[in-house]
Structure 1
Amino acid sequence: MMLPKTTPTAFCQAFIERELESNKSKPIWMSYWPVMERMIDRADELSIVFDELIGKFGYSDKYENLYVWLTLEHIWMSSRFCKSGAIQARVAFKELNELQKTIVDLSERLAIALKRQDELYESSGFIQPDYQTVIDMIEDGSQNNHEYQWEVSEKLKALGGEYDLKYWPTRSDIVESIAFFEEIQPPPKHIEISENTLKGRTSDIKDFVLSFDKKFNDSNDLPCGFRFSNNALADIINVVLDLPVDKLTTGDAIRIIRYRYSR
């Protein structure tokens, strides 16, 4: 299909129509169909967006220059940056941080208990009915892992027979390593939603702007560092999120958000 090059709006509108038709024929990406249809129906409202995109990268089809295609795709997929998605991410972010602290605490307490158990069996006169080595732990934990049983088990057991206990970590050493690993981990990062969005107050517009712009800084095939103008991004938000007339955002609002969170 030859795409019209009369205007950027005509070109991008035809581009999206073709992608939507292709997606429906498979069918794939069904959750984005309504957004793509809205971009087609309201293409005139996105004329600044299309002018800036084609002005930067030219009338290039997806096999000539990936930037036009991937940026348009980024626009219709940006519907996931709405408030509900950010709220869910915030809840998961909070829980992950709490779980990290819990794992550190439980691991440290368990390591202390295991060490104390060893001390008592060594000094109190009680006989330990059985002893679990690190190899036993791996074996017990891998009972349902057929690949391990087939490829690794016998080799590890052979190593256990070759080297006595002084060469291996104890159970408490292993548990302590879990606490150490978790304690030094940085806060979790979302692949799409920015740290400012995760830590800030809920706001449809702010969350969208920060997450949308962040994608152009991430390691992907989008044009690195590219930014739509404030007015263009406002038009994207109004169309993609289908905001009502009394909730429409403006270029000034985008400018304030970008300035505030760029410092």
Structure 2
Amino acid sequence: MRAIEKAVAECESVLRADLTYNKEHGIWPSTNRVIERMLGMRHDLGKAYQELYKQLHSHERALDSFLDMLVYLPIGWSPEKAIKARQDREELVSVNSRIASLATQLGGLLSRRTEIEETSGFSSETHYHILNVMKDAAEHNHHFGFYVEDELDGLYNQYDLKYWPTLSDFAEALAADARDAIVVADNPVTAAATESRKPGLTDFLRAYYSKLDERSMKQGGLIPDTFRLSDSALASLLSCVLDLGPEKLMSAEAVKRFRQGERSRKAG
């Protein structure tokens, strides 16, 4: 068997095993479509498979790890998902800003209500102790009732009001927390895929390289740290898994420009 035929056979064997498992368990339909697309493009991906097999076959389960990463990556980081992630980030910033504004207003209103009730001769029979608010808020939380409420009642009876934050203090703390919040990505792949100011295929390339680093041996994964695909092989694989049409195919030149740009950016 020629080298390229053996490489294709080995890569497709891994893909088919994954596809069979998913279908038998009724899971990951979107990933299954990616695998089926790869299986249908064996002639276009032959050289890429050859590079994969040459570099990974001697490392136990490294080929499985790479192909698993590749077929699942579009589920989280297609260009559309990267756009959605940016929108989520912007909305989180906006929501925190609104919380800060509204909590500040609430703190002022609570403080004013206390002032009126203490000076006017009128009261509204509303909460004045933070623990009363907590108990009402936890009305339907049975864990609170079983394990926490009695201990808090003991503290409530042991320490008078001067030892507790006021309701307005509580609201102002919420305002400060939201106002000072800095929105950050929860993981390196999310950070990489949303790093640039404008969305595009570079998002997916960043996600790919971040995920590859995550699965490298230096990070405790199975893929050797020396693993590198050629620009043309990577362009072929990513164009396939993203199902890019003929007019949008990722080119080897585009991958090369991206890598050069990343080196320059990091050096700068």
TM-score category (smaller protein): 0.7 to 0.9
Residue of structure 1 in register with 2:194 after alignment: 197
2:66 to 62, 68, 71: 71
SS of corresponding position for 2:182: coil
**Runs of at least 4 residues of structure 1 off by over 6 A?**
none
Q: 1:104-145 deviations in whole A, cap 9, x for unaligned?
A: 111112112212222232234434534431111110111111
Instruction: Tell me which moved more, 119-128 or 33-42.
Output: 119-128
Q: 1:157-216 deviations in whole A, cap 9, x for unaligned?
A: 11111111111111111112212222232224264444563652232x222212222223
1:95 lines up with 2:91 in the alignment: yes
Residue of structure 2 in register with 1:152 after alignment: 148
Q: Which amino acid is 2:74 matched to?
A: S
* Map 1:32-181 → 2, pairs under 5 A: 32-60=31-59, 64-65=60-61, 67-80=62-75, 81-181=77-177
1:209 lines up with 2:205 in the alignment: yes
Q: How many residues align?
A: 255
SS of corresponding position for 1:74: helix
Gaps of 5+ in 1: none
Identity value in percent: 28
Residue of structure 1 in register with 2:21 after alignment: 22
Q: Which amino acid is 1:237 matched to?
A: L
1:249 lines up with 2:250 in the alignment: yes
SS of corresponding position for 2:212: coil
Residue of structure 1 in register with 2:239 after alignment: 238
Residue of structure 1 in register with 2:261 after alignment: 260
Gaps of 5+ in 2: none
Shift of 1:36: 0.4
Query: What is the CA–CA distance in structure 2 between the aligned matches of 1:88 and 1:149, rounded to whole Å?
Result: 40
Q: Whose helix proportion is higher, 1 or 2? A: 2
Q: Which amino acid is 1:73 matched to?
A: D
CA-based RMSD = 2.8
Change in Cα spacing, 1:211 to 1:229, as seen in structure 2 (3 Å) is: same
